[in-house]
A and B are shown apart, each in its own frame.
Chain A
Amino acid sequence: MISFISKILVALNSNSRPGELASGIAFGFCLALIPKGNLLWIIIFSIAFLLKHNLAAMLLSLLLFPPLASLMDPLLHNTGQLILTMPAFQSFFTTLYNLPVLPWLKFNNTIVMGAFLWNLILWLPLFFLFRQLVVVYRKKVAPRLAESKLVKSLKKVPWVSKILSAYNKLSFLR
């Protein structure tokens, strides 16, 4: 957890794209929302793994969001139920269900379907939200933080500077 946080802090203050961090967090949220043990989760995880974004941000959000997902379960269930039982989609879902491999997605599960839909809905807003947050941080917070007395005095503390330099030297091992 500390490692993830430090990596995220490094990414925040380095020249990485703001979108990398934002998509990492958005994908982590996505994976936390979808129940595990189905092909859909594996596919999203594989995509998220392959795409260039901040892995630490994704894994941290994957760890932090499940309690939120549990709270959202009734909402996910109701949404999934609503969609899956909509007469208009019955033939579509039936076709999907009878196609090879697709049943492994477990899309006929109300929670999976609900989570998938909410992911579709929330992914972009989350992405843009976190992206904007990173930009704002870099533009306004980071310079002020760097100039703050607290950070300056901390940097002067010998053991803090030593730890920071050691961390920087050993970061290649991670």
Chain B
Amino acid sequence: MAKKNKKVPKVFRKKIKPKKWKKKILKNIHIPSDKKWIEERFELMDDRMVIKQDLPKEDLKKLKALGKSIKKNKGTVTKWKALILLAIAVLAFLFNYLFKNVLIKKGIETGIESIFEAAGFIENPDLSLSKGSFTFDSLSIQNKDKPDRNLITFGNTAIRINMPELSRNRYHIEEITLQGMQLNSSRTSGDLIDSRGEGSEDSGTPLIDIPDMEEGKEQVLALIEEHKSNLKSLQYIDTANQELEAFTQRWTQTFETTRTGVEDSIKEIKDLGSRGVPSVSSLEDARGVVDEYRGYSDSLLDQKKELESLNAQFNEEKERLLSMKEEVENLIQDDIDYLGTLLQLPGREDVQNFISDKVKEILMTRFQDYYDKAMLVMPYYEKWNASRSGAEENEGGAKRLAGSYIPFPTAEQPRFLIKKIDLSGGDNYSGFFNALVSGITSEPDKLEEPVLLTSAWDNGEARMSLDGFLDLKEDASQLFDISFSSPANPADFGDTLSALGIESAGARLSYTGKSIPHPDEEGVLVSLDMDFADLQITLPDKDDITTRLLRETVAEIKEFMVNAEVHIDSNGIQGLRVQSDADKIIKEKLGDLLKDLPSQGAAELEKYIRELVASELKGSEKINEALDQLGLESLSQIRSIEDLEAQVKAYEDEARSRGEDLLKEAEDRARAEAEKLKAEAEAARKEAEAKAAAEAAKAKAEAEAAAAAAQKAAEEKAKEEASKIKLPGF
């Protein structure tokens, strides 16, 4: 029996009193039929309720199920659920120590990537729930439009939250310290924060950024460049250059040919010279040599005439081509006139507010830049706002009312408060800044002091300080008031004023400003007082009338003030008004100067056109040199022929001289023969006179006749000899 009873669940095996049996067993059976069934299975023995013996197998099975359900129904707390909660607590504890910061790092970086659509990097984040602090060593967000640069970077950062206040559902951040903040720094591989502190894209932008206004030169150059294809002078130069080049080629070829002829002649005459003048033994020979030389001489003369003719032709054509230069001059003047009509130079009216207008340009650029930078953040803000409202909408999936929050007075503490933000950063080039913001709150009415802003900026040369407040109380008379000042900044205008003929200008700029809500419209009104003192202006080293007028003008401007007012709202710059006391001086003095500006413009135009033409003419100058060379070559060839002529003439003279010698010798010989015959005749006469003293008359007559006949014969012979050697000039 005992063995069988062992199969009955323990809860039914005990022998208990009826009262306790009802409480412990019967009350825990909630199915009426089961209750009845169990009552039937128990019997009262010795004032105890005992389970019946020898129950069938089916009954034991049902008893087992009922026993289980009775056990299950005991107690009010389920153990396994408590264990789950305990396990969650243990896991939270482990997570805090092992995975918290890793997951925070991953979460922040993923969040940055999703919001900014660019890489984010955070170094050593540490969240301490017990201290209520969050710190990290560095944070950088890549600029999605310029992947090699960061949108923003932070160095050591610490945020400390007031935990007791947090438990009162109030978010009080005691302090936010953000060090090493940099905008637009360069990204380096591995180290995403540019530790060198360089490379802000604006690094080259000085504090007073005056845009390049060298409009005169730029305007002229741009105009010339634009209308270059219409400039007749350049087109003409181009054509002339081509013509000159063809001419040069043609004449180079011609003179090359004549040079060959001249060289042949030189060689020929040289050979002639080396042979020397041949010896002549007779007047016939002498005549032959002289005739030969005359042949050379005639040939050289023809060659010379040919060369001279070519030279004359060359010079004539060259002169015609060179006269094109004069045409170029005329065309340059035409081009200047043409461009002059297109050149729009500032007139007197343009300098009515010269300084104001320039400062207006600068301020417009600068404030537009501020506005554009602020607008860069807007898409992210709008995205965040949209996702926030979307999330709020999603939260109310069951479309429930949000209800309203009844405000209960608290200890005058706002729900959200940042007590202090200490922000510092910058880089070596653009300077370093420190900013302190205190009292940012969602409920400004609960704070006596408004949000206070102070900041200082220093780049080594210039300093700027800013002080202000932001009063967001509902009954605030002035929402905000921010004043800033920057004393003694070096303001270098560079060649900004070159349009006025000023080489360079510099000043010491001190400015103060104020930013307040616009009294009548939406937006902010920024007023700015700029004092440009110790003005130093460098004028060109000239003494023309323009420079003298300019010197006289600027001598009166040692210091000038500029007052500006900018109205800016969410849609951009709505208004910009600038006034300067320098305007009056400029207007009066410089206005006169600008009367001459059109002529200055024309002169400027001419200067640049001439420079342009000069560069275009460089080709023709080379051609000119070649032409001159060709002219020289031609003359040289003519001179060579003349030299050859002289040389041949010398040979001819020598030959003629030798012929003359021969003639003289023949004459002498004939004369000596005549003398001899004369003497013989004299002797014969004397002999006849002696022989025929008697035969005086007869013999005398015969003798005289014989002598006369002999003399006549000698003379005729001599004449005949002489006539054989008939040379020109003899």
Q: Which residues of A line the B interface, CB within 8 A?
A: 13-18, 20, 35-37, 46, 49-52, 66-67, 69-70, 73-74, 76-77, 80-81, 84-85, 90, 93-94, 97-101, 103-104, 106, 108-112, 114, 135, 138-139, 142-143
Contact = CB atoms under 8 A, between A and B. Distances in A.
Contact of B81 (A49, A90, A98, A99): A49
Contacts of B400: 35, 66, 69-70, 73, 111
B399 interface: yes
B1 interface: no
Which of A50, A69, A114, A139 has the most C-beta atoms of chain B within 10 angstroms of its own C-beta?
A50
A37 B394 CA distance: 13
A108 B77 contact: no
Interface in B138-176: 164, 167-170
A97 B77 contact: no
Contacts of B81: 49-50
A98 B32 contact: no
Contact of B66 (A15, A69, A81, A104): A15
Contacts of A52: 75-78
B374 interface: no
A109 B30 contact: no
Given A15-B30, A66-B398, 20 more contacts: A14-B69, A15-B34, A15-B65, A17-B30, A17-B73, A20-B73, A37-B395, A50-B77, A67-B398, A73-B400, A73-B403, A76-B401, A76-B403, A81-B406, A94-B410, A99-B168, A103-B169, A106-B405, A108-B408, A110-B405
B98 interface: no
Interface string B69-111: 1101101111001100100000000000000000000000000
A124 to B, nearest CB: 16
B76 A138 contact: no
Given A15-B69, A46-B85, A50-B78, A138 B30 contact: yes
B545 interface: no
A94 B409 CA distance: 6
B408 A93 contact: yes
B411 interface: yes
Nearest to B410: A98
A16 B30 contact: yes
A37 B169 CA distance: 14
B411 A98 contact: yes
Interface string B7-25: 0000000000000000000
Interface of B: 28-34, 65-66, 69-70, 72-73, 75-78, 81-82, 85, 164, 167-170, 395, 398-411
Nearest to B406: A84
Nearest to B84: A49
B404 A77 contact: yes
A19 to B, nearest CB: 9
Contact of A139 (B32, B76, B77): B32
17 contacts: A15-B31, A15-B69, A15-B70, A35-B400, A36-B395, A37-B395, A49-B81, A51-B76, A52-B76, A70-B399, A77-B403, A85-B406, A108-B408, A109-B404, A111-B401, A112-B403, A143-B33
Contact of A110 (B32, B73, B406, B411): B406
A34 B416 CA distance: 26
B401 A77 contact: yes
Given A15-B66, A52-B77, A138 B32 contact: yes
Contacts of A112: 403
A48 B604 CA distance: 93
B73 A109 contact: no
A170 to B, nearest CB: 18
Contacts of A108: 405-408
A123 to B, nearest CB: 16
A13 B30 CA distance: 10
Contacts of A16: 30, 69, 72-73
A64 B316 CA distance: 116
B69 A69 contact: no
A26 to B, nearest CB: 15
B405 A94 contact: no
B535 to A, nearest CB: 63
A67 B397 CA distance: 11
Contacts of A49: 81, 85
Contacts of A80: 403
Contacts of B404: 77, 81, 109-110
